[in-house]
Structure 1
């Protein structure tokens, strides 16, 4: 068997995943904290002020990575949920549901920083702009997934029902992405492009790159920590969990 395929099969084992998550969660958080520190310092003290918005544009370094993560996490949640529904892989159910709280947090940060940024730019804290409105709908979807998962006692049935909502809700992501193109919008158009030339000056991009990578590491740490906790709750009563609680380590 291919070593990578064998590793994925091993990762589906609850004791193996517990050891994997316990090992890598602290490193993910550490990398996130270091990158966040450097990225924020670059954003606040190194990057030049915008020629139109002045220093108020600096909230972009929190707003944009959070907005990207709010959509990325929902897409990943739907991906895990689809795998869980098709192949009945319990770990994917756990990972899908572990995505929701962190994704909701990133969405809240996006909406809050967008409102703060919008006040000096638009003269109002909130406008029913297509981008803002669809991002708010994304938050409701996250809350719906979390609420549905918590409302059903059977964990596997709860994960399947909530996962189905996530799969249906993924249709909102392209609407959020292209809302500034399809409708008249107060929200500025796309300034940063992965492919093609960006309209953002290169002197301002390094802090953004650092913040984007930092949010990825933070999400990875949060995902592993939440999934590990849910995995332990589901496996409570098993011998390997008892040994772990007794300080003897997980069973092989």
Structure 2
């Protein structure tokens, strides 16, 4: 089976720093209207270093510009055993105890969580060694796009090969810059206090664009592209529905930026 095309972020030099996570949670929260900045302030002030001190990596946290009441973030773990230990340490620890009521008060739902692992050994996130130190620093102008393909069968049963040879080259030729590719992790949820979406098969592709203009140019190029439009029939044969495309804007202290 051909390997998925290597994300550009992984092609950067090691001097930029690497924080590879074998297990990643993609978490999307539905918030009470007007409360997103309150939660972002809590995260950027209290929930980054404190989680990482417990043995995990907070990969990035984001606003969804198309949904003012959504907060999206990613955290990673070395494996499922480490995940249990790290989450137990944090959620039983003093920082969460001090701020959980304020955090939970912003949320309507926090159970929309995909548990993922890199599709290939080289397709996880490559991250800088450090994040911005202060929430007052200017946020990155970058736009991250995550496209989630909901699959009829596990990704390794044909879809990964098809995506690598047919879909990925087409998208990259029209300005897509993939930085990571993940598939569903079907291992047991080792921290049952936090539910995850189980029994789903997805391929999640993360791409980075320098700014909103670059992302708009890419999307516009696809709208009238004959090759892309003709590929939709083949693509649909693998899927349970249309791919879900989400735009993500990094917060000021997001490591992924």
The TM-score with structure 2 as length reference comes to: 0.24
Relative to total residues, which structure has the larger strand share, 1 or 2?
A: 2
* Larger Rg computed on CA atoms: 1
Relative to total residues, which structure has the larger helix share, 1 or 2?
A: 1
The TM-score with structure 1 as length reference comes to: 0.24
